[in-house]
Structure formats: C-alpha cells, structure tokens
Amino acid sequence: AEEGLRARLASLLEQQSFTDLVTPPSQEPRLFSTPADTIGNRPDVQAAEELEEAAHAAVKAAWAAYFPDFFASFSWLQNQGYNGSGANDATWQIAIQARLPLWTGGRRQAQLSEAKAQRRAAQYQQEAVKQSARAEVVAARGAWLAAQAQYRAAQSAVAAAEEVTRIQTDRFAEGRLSATDLVDAEATLADARSELVSSLVRWWKADDALRLAVGLAPAAYDEYTGPVK
C-alpha cells in the first residue's frame, strides 16, 4: 500500500520515483525586528502610495487650467535683391501669444473639485491600507510568539515522555511492569515527538506569515529551486 501511494505521488509530481521521506525542519526560526511602521515593502502599501501621488498630480493639473497658456512663434525671411539696391534683405518676426478662457461654464471648477475629492479618497484609502497592514504585523507577531511557546511546550512534553519511558523500561526489565504499560509509554513518547515536529512546522508557518506581513519573502525562499508559478 505504501509503495502504491509513493507511485501515485511520483506521478502527480511528475517524478520517476518518490522514495525519499520529506525531511522535517530542524532549525528554529529567528525573530527579527518588526516595528509597526515596517510596512513600506508591502505591495498594497506601495500601490496605495502611488495612487495618492497620482491623485495629487491630478489636482495640480486641474489648478493649471486657471492659468493662461503662452505660445511663441518665430519666422525669418530672406529677400534676394528686392530692396532697391540689389542686395539681399532679411526680415524676421517674433510673436508671443497668451490665451486664457474667461468663462467655461464652471467646467474648470468642477474638474478641480473632482480632483480634490479623488485625492481625499486616495488619502483615506492609503491610511486604511496602512492601518490594516500594521494590524496584520501585530497579529502575525503575536501568532509567531504563540507558535514559539507551543514549540517550547512540545519540547518539555518530549523530555517528560522520554523520562517516563526510561523509567517504565527499567521497571519492565525488572519484571514490575506489564508489556502493555510499556507500549503505552512508548506510544506517548512517539506522539510527543510527532507533536514536536508539527509545532515546529507551525512555528515556521507563523514566521512566513510575519515576514509576508512586513513585505518580506519567506526565510527559505532563496533556497527554493523548484518551478515558479
């Protein structure tokens, strides 16, 4: 049954074989500095900032409609022998024009008001995104610390189960303990060790979540060599 399961896993992973067991993590995550304002690397925060800057530029463009437009032109003409003396004569002209609509039916004011409203909306959206990001950082840090505490508790449980198993093994060797009780102690130890590995995996997941909350890649991302989808 196990060989059949491995064969199916290999087929799903497009591998010729699937014989190696998955190696559980052995190292512990390291807590890094995560102040609440460390959110500048998050894509959603950067996008909100870009939208606010674009809205601010739109307000400036709307204000520019109240100022006149200036135009300049230059022309130069050379006349050959038409000045009465037979010599060449050159004429040039420079013109500067200014254009300012005196009445637009309220169009400029409407455009300016709309641009200001969009800028305020972008500012509110930016602040909402930042507040949400800060809350995610605080929550992720709390989850990280909780996962760390669970792992430490699992370590203590393994140590206690190992001591109980040692005592029960000695008692069984002396004939003072039944085989059933010894098996129960060993099963408890196996469960404790399994929970230790699971708690370490959860701790690493919490570490990844904390890194994502501050806009960083997971710690093991640089070591990944598989396909990127």
Q: What is the pLDDT of residue 85?
A: 57
DSSP state of 83: S
Structure tokens at 118: 């969009």
Q: pLDDT tens across 124-171, in order?
A: 999 999 999 999 999 999 999 999 999 999 999 999 999 999 999 999
Strand-pair partners of 67: none
What domains are defined for the chain?
Answer: 2-219 (1.20.1600.10)
Burial of 134 (0-12, 13-18, 19+ CB in 10 A): middle
Which amino acid is residue 173, in one-letter code? A
Smallest Cα–Cα separation from 96: which of 65, 75, 67? 75
Q: Which segments within the chain are labelled E, that is strand?
A: 69-80, 88-99
Which residues have CB under 8 Å from 185's CB, separation 6+? 161, 164, 165, 168, 169
Q: What is the pLDDT of residue 64?
A: 82
What pTM does this model have? 0.66
Please state, in angstroms and rounded to a whole number, the distance separating the CA atoms of residues 7 and 14. Answer: 10
CA 155 from centre of chain: 32
Q: pLDDT tens across 75-114, in order?
A: 776 665 555 555 556 677 777 777 777 776 788 889 899 9
User: Is the pLDDT assigned to residue 222 strictly greater than 50?
Assistant: yes
